[in-house]
Amino acid sequence: MMAALTNASLVSSNMLYQLGGIVQQNYTRQQAQQGYRTLKPKRDVTQVTCATAELLMEELIQFEIDLQELGVTGFAEAAFFQLRAVTQGQAKDVIEFALVREPMKTLHAAALALPSGEEWEGGYPGRGYQRTQAFRTLYQHAARELRKAVNLTDARMRQLANDKSGQARMRGESADDAI
């Protein structure tokens, strides 16, 4: 009888321990899925000004690097709201003007109305899949509008990248020593 009680006590304590682990995992996952709301502030997130084609290309590249440093890997909701937050001057005007015109106006309203949640659950589209896709499209539209504002085409981007690559020189043994 005593062995049965001891065994039952061990089983119930083991189950409580596992339940605590499950609750903690769900809480951690839920906190991780809060998107832009839980981004850790980074003091020097690149500001996007859209002054010239060359500058915009550098700003967008550095902006996406900054997002990755903050832990944003899929350029969807967090990226879109962060981009709106860091635009200044002409870039802010371009984004805000694009948001009052179609297709971004309707897409933005629809994206905000969609349920939030995980994009993928067990290999299948999750509750937040459509919202994530909508914000991913909005981010792409916003970046495209900025590029159009300074006539930064794909061909021009390749040309600028090749020019920068040709100008790059090493002064030492590390990437920090590059000009």
pTM of the model: 0.71
The pLDDT value recorded for residue 16 is: 47
Q: Minimum mean pLDDT among 28-32, 58-62, 166-170, 173-177: which range?
A: 28-32
172: pLDDT confidence band, cut at 50, 70 and 90?
Answer: confident
CB atoms under 10 Å from CB of 109, counted, come to 11
Cis peptide before 103 (omega within 30 of 0): yes
Q: Which residue, chain included where needed, has tokens 């900025």?
A: 146
